Chains A and B, each alone.
Chain A
Amino acid sequence: MSFAFSTGTFRDDYGFRNSAEGIARFPFPFTEERYMYSVNVEPHVPGPKGSAFEHPFDIDEHYLAEMAERDLVLRRDPLRCQSMPHMIQAEWDLVELVMTALARDYPQWFHLARRGDDWHWTNRPMAIDQRFTFGDAASLPCPPLEYIGRQVQGDFTLLDQREDNLWLDAGILTSQGKWSLDFDLGMNFIEWHAPVPLAHGLGVFERALKFLLALRLDGPVRRLNWSICVNPRLDTSLESYPEWGPEHFAVTPETVGHMLQLRVELQSLYRLPRSNAVAFSIRCYLISLDELRTNPAWAARFAAVLRDLHPDLLRYKALAPYRDMIIDRLTRDLT
């Protein structure tokens, strides 16, 4: 893939735009005309060339813009990156996982040379050249989780496995969809999913947890999750709600097309070797309704999903006030 990195922004003037290629490779989440929770997990195996699934960690045209946004958020709120002391091995596991994957899949941008514990990492787009000792946190300019998290798109949590549960004991999150790492840190899988409606009654989380506890080193998995957001904003955390909350009032039938975004999370999970923890990557993709309309089949399907969406999900995904407006925008003049 060859492209120029975009210089869009995810706040203030919201300069974020998808190119035509970016739209074509958008991970559209709906496989049928309706949506309900399920254990929609599948092996995270390489997908079609050029797609968002081609590589385990997708680097796209927004790479540098997202890394600049992450830096901004972390400077303002350092608690977006937290790790409990017992997660240090998992942090290093993640460094290895991401660096080896990026160097293998994007050799034009990333390079990793390792001799024993002496590692040499090169990130050309970000102009980083770093020699360090694997396992020695003092040899990096910041803790390992933050170091690698600042160089790869998507949020990460590290889940400790014990007592037949997964515990959210570390994470770096600057693009979370309406939740808070600082609040959820230390919770287990059932606890941090507590606010989700309906799925508990369906037994989704019990089954998903059992599945993830048996996650294999050679068997990463993925699923797509979706919601909406107003404006192409990555940082829709609870901490920054005062900044983005009021923007909802600006959505009108005239502005909904460019303001409202379908927000898709490509979530992938990896067993980590030394810590036996699980790495959870939450890679966020945004597309405005007007961009979505360039693909009439997607627009029609999204409208159909919204038309029949369960009222509890409409509320949980904060869709209720906009549903009719969105459907109208998606279907009007559509051929």
Chain B
Amino acid sequence: MTGAIPVRIGSIVQEAPLVKRFRLEPLDGRLPDFSGGAHVVVTMLDGARGRRNAYSLVNPPGDPDRYEIAVRRVADGRGGSIFLHDRVRVGDILTVTPPANLFPLDWRARRHLLIAGGIGITPFVAMTAQLAALGAAFELHYAMRSPLAGAFADRLQQLHGDAVHLYAGSHGERLPIARLIADQLLGTHLYVCGPARLIDEVRATAHAAGWPDAHVHAERFDSARPGAPFTARLARSGRRIAIETDESLLEALEREGVAIDSLCRGGACGRCVTSVAACDGTIEHADHYLSAADKASGRLILPCVSRVRGDGLVLDL
């Protein structure tokens, strides 16, 4: 069902020591437009092995001739970012899904307060471009380890001037979260993206300050963590599939040609939810979709992010 779009790597720019920006160009036709905060899922062929990772689009919307993604090299991840950093060259062909947005702006907001930590800056790059084009009021607060490590910091400051505030940890600068949240006009919407610790702190501070929860938006977009191998058995066919350390259950099923519908691949949208017939071990639910009751029941799993600690499970497939 997913209409994969083939794209050519047009350029690769070192945006920060660990971050590369890839420009993706269509082989023909127009790339569909998108909204700030949208992501695409990039499919890479590493030998015979397919890898799929979701990345925020970081170019300004409204350009049918390119997408851009920023990739942080994660040394202890599942290998997709390492593949992009170390193996992909200008001119290579990859495929991407059409954009989807799980971290959208609320267009009713009278003002947008954006808070980024580290590589959590990526959804805000296109968001600020779209807000600026619409003439909407916004301010961006961006915390980074050091001025050098802050991808897009200079460019954002050039584009948006006083609306952009930078905080370098190496200079002892910290996000003034409490002050930012206490001092906002009614009708402001707050968006936060970054480490779970930052998101939790911002949410808690806003809640305590009396913000409506509906005005606080967070991108919890965890990609699957590597883990111990386990086995999935398919109840209907009896097939057994081994899930390796550095692949998700969803990737393993796709590798074996098992059709699973999916969208975000980050445990947020619920598209890939799959029934569990039995489990020999414990399901480590890593998604933000299933209810606590669903998780406790052990009957459902989101194979994009969740794994089994133990021998394995039987899927109702």
Contact = CB atoms under 8 A, between A and B. Distances in A.
A9 interface: no
B32 interface: yes
A273 B101 CA distance: 9
Nearest to B1: A219
A18 interface: no
A43 interface: yes
B270 interface: yes
B1 A273 contact: no
Contacts of B38: 276
B107 A218 contact: no
B100 to A, nearest CB: 6
B303 interface: no
A86 B108 contact: yes
A162 interface: yes
Contacts, number: 59
B107 A86 contact: yes
A274 B61 contact: yes
Interface stretch (A22-30, A209-217, A283-291): A209-217
A163 interface: yes
A89 B100 CA distance: 16
Contacts of B3: 218-219
A217 B100 contact: yes
Query: In which size bucket is the chain B interface?
Result: 20 to 34
Contacts of A89: 107, 134
A87 interface: yes
Given A86-B107, A162-B106, A274-B61, A214 B263 contact: yes
A199 B2 CA distance: 30
A161 interface: yes
A97 to B, nearest CB: 11
A163 B214 CA distance: 6
B34 interface: yes
Given A87-B107, A161-B104, A163-B214, A217 B98 contact: yes
Interface in A215-229: 216-219
A274 B40 CA distance: 14
Interface in B74-126: 97-101, 104, 106-108
A58 B238 CA distance: 45
A51 interface: no
Contacts of A216: 1-2, 98, 100, 263
A274 B2 contact: no
A137 to B, nearest CB: 13
B56 interface: no
Residue of A43, A160, A276 with most chain B CB atoms under a 10 A cut-off: A276
Majority DSSP secondary structure for residues of B touching A: loop
A255 B223 CA distance: 64
A304 B272 CA distance: 38
A163 B109 CA distance: 13
A180 interface: no
A331 interface: no
B104 A162 contact: yes
A206 to B, nearest CB: 12
Contacts of B106: 162
A275 B98 contact: no
Interface in A73-125: 84, 86-87, 89, 96
A46 to B, nearest CB: 14
Nearest to A90: B107
Contacts of A84: 108
A218 B3 CA distance: 6
Contact of A214 (B32, B34, B270): B270
Contacts of A96: 33
A276 B101 contact: yes
Q: Which 3 A-B pairs have the closest CB atoms?
A: A86-B107, A218-B3, A273-B33
30 contacts: A84-B108, A89-B107, A89-B134, A96-B33, A160-B107, A160-B108, A162-B104, A162-B108, A163-B214, A210-B270, A214-B263, A214-B269, A214-B271, A216-B1, A216-B98, A216-B100, A217-B99, A218-B1, A218-B32, A219-B1, A271-B100, A273-B32, A273-B33, A273-B34, A273-B35, A274-B33, A274-B35, A274-B130, A276-B38, A276-B101
Given A214-B269, A218-B2, A274-B35, 7 more contacts: A89-B107, A96-B33, A162-B106, A163-B214, A219-B2, A273-B32, A275-B107
